[in-house]
Amino acid sequence: MIDRIDHVSLAVRDFEAAQAFFTEILGAVRGASAGDERLKYFWQIYSLGDMSRLEIITPTGTGSFLDGFLRDRAGGVHHITLQTPDIQDAQNRLVARGIPYFGYAEYGDLWKEIFIHPKDAFGVLIQIAEFRADDWLSPSVRMQGQRKTRVERTDRGVCLEIAHPGGGTAKVSMDVDEARLLMEDLGRVLGQNG
């Protein structure tokens, strides 16, 4: 039902200060962003390291759906977003187990979502969404082209970069001996199968 945790969403009053903290101090890379006039908020996705992501959401006016959440705090974890390959299957599984959900929405082919209320999820607002993760990331953190791997020589051996199905890439550094073992394993497996 769930492929992975996609991101943790932080609601903040001071968007500029939060963005500066995560980008300038922690090195987060900005991805997709948008505003919602109806719900009166703005969101921005950030990538950290190989595959970790967070979202910062902030109200854009009085009457935002975030007003209650931010009433007595400057910010905090608002929800976690879980990626599913099939939103309809996720809905069916929740219904079959008697777990209520709300807020079904579709945004074209880009995004389909539902939410599970904190009272039904051990105190955590959970967003379950069907989407292609790379669509929301900066090109600088995605594997370019159709390749799924890239290898670069380093001082100690090699760095293997792998496109992750959840978007972005993972990097694995190997010394020369580890790289040779990987090549032997690949040669053995490919020799058996082809």
The radius of gyration computed from the CA coordinates of the chain, to the nearest angstrom, equals 20
Percent of the chain at pLDDT above 70?
A: 99
Label residue 136 by pLDDT band (50, 70, 90): confident
Rounded Cα gap, residues 167 and 52, in angstroms: 10
CATH code that applies to domain 4-136: 3.10.180.10
pLDDT surpassing 90 at residue 192: no
User: pLDDT tens-digit profile of 21-76?
Assistant: 999 999 999 999 999 999 999 999 999 987 789 999 999 999 999 999 999 999 99
**Distance, CA of 92 to chain centre:** 23
DSSP letter (8 states) at residue 10: E
Q: What is the mean pLDDT of the chain?
A: 93
Measure the CA dihedral 161/140/53/37, to 10°.
-160
Q: Cα 54–1–83 angle (5° rounding)?
A: 20
Q: DSSP for 130-183, please give it.
A: E--GGGGS-GGGSPPSS-SEEEEE-SSEEEEEEE-TTSSEEEEEEEHHHHHHHH
Domain ranges of the chain: 4-136, 143-193
As given in the structure block, the two tokens for residue 175 are 């010394």
Percent of the chain at pLDDT above 90?
A: 81
pLDDT surpassing 70 at residue 193: no
